[in-house]
Amino acid sequence: MRKTVPLIWLIMAALVGCSREQNHDAGDPHDCVPTPVVRGESPVDDPALLGSNKTWYVNADRSIWWVYITDFTAGERTKVGWYRPANTLLTITGRRLDAPAPPLKVETETFLAERRFQPCVVTFPTEGCWEVVAKGGASEARFVLKVRPAQASATSMPAGTQRREKL
C-alpha cells in the first residue's frame, strides 16, 4: 500500500499538468511573427528608388508597398511612405494583436493624387505585436510587426530639441 500512494500522487500530478491549458494565446509576446520583408526590389521605376537598398513590406500581388522601418517605438510619430495601386487612395488601419490597445493613429492624404506614392505618419500607441492593414481599390495588404516600448530618455530630451522622424 505504501508504494501505491506515491504512484497515485505521481499519476494525479501528471493528469493535472496535462489538463492545464497551455498559454499560447495571442497575449504571448513570443508568438508575434513579423511579416517577411523584401530588399533589392522597388515598387516603381523611380530613379530615386532604383538601385536603392530600401527594404519593404509588400502584399502578395505586389500592388501595395510600405517602406520598412526597423524599429517603430510606442508613442512616436513616424513618417512612412506607401506605394499604392494606381488611381486609388489607401485606407490604413492597425490593431494590437497581443493585448487590448487603442487603434493605430494614422495621418495621411485625403485626396487622390496622380502619383502612386502616399506619405503618412503613424503612431503606435503601445508596444507589442501589431497588424497594419492597407486597402486601396481591390487590393489589400496585411503586415505584422513588433513595436518597441517607449524609451525613458524620450521624456528627458533637452528643451528645444525635436525627435527625428523616419522616412
Domain ranges in the chain are: 27-150
* pLDDT value of residue 2: 54
Grouped pLDDT means (10 residues each) for the chain, 167 residues: 44 34 42 86 69 81 87 94 91 97 95 87 97 96 95 50 45
Cβ–Cβ < 8 Å for 64, 83: yes
Among left, alpha and beta (phi > 0; psi -120 to 50; other), residue 48 is alpha
Does this model's pTM top 0.95? My answer is no
How is domain 27-150 classified at the CATH fold level? Immunoglobulin-like (2.60.40)
